[in-house]
Amino acid sequence: MGGGRWRLAAENDYLLIYENTRALPRAWLANAERVVTEAEELSAIRTGKLPGGQLWDPLQTVLYRSAYWEHIWSEHVTRQSGGNASRA
């Protein structure tokens, strides 16, 4: 079924259970990062290619949008300092 993507994991008289062999783990550490726009991020997810045409391996390279993480970092620093710190 599905050209290798689905593997029969178990079966009985009433059902078949398949494993998605392309599923990613719940969490992992990537060794590279790439700042992208929202459109570039969605394109990489849909096509498997980074801007510029390189293949994207999500197990190796994390994609993030700078503005989003700047916002998260700012909130974290503010909470840690009681609301009185800014990012250096």
Q: Is the pLDDT of residue 62 over 80?
A: yes
Distance (Å, whole) CA 46 – CA 35? 17
Residue bearing the bigger pLDDT, 83 or 43: 43
User: Pairing mode, if any, of strands 6-11 and 32-35?
Assistant: unpaired
| Domain positions in the chain | 27-80
Q: What is the mean pLDDT of residues 19-40?
A: 90
Residue 47 contacts by C-beta under 8 Å, 6 or more apart in sequence? none
Average pLDDT, the chain: 84
Confidence of residue 73 (pLDDT cuts 50, 70, 90): low
Distance (Å, whole) CA 24 – CA 60? 12
Q: What is the mean pLDDT of residues 41-63?
A: 93
Confidence of residue 87 (pLDDT cuts 50, 70, 90): very low
Contact 4, 21 (CB under 8 A): yes
Distance (Å, whole) CA 47 – CA 36? 15
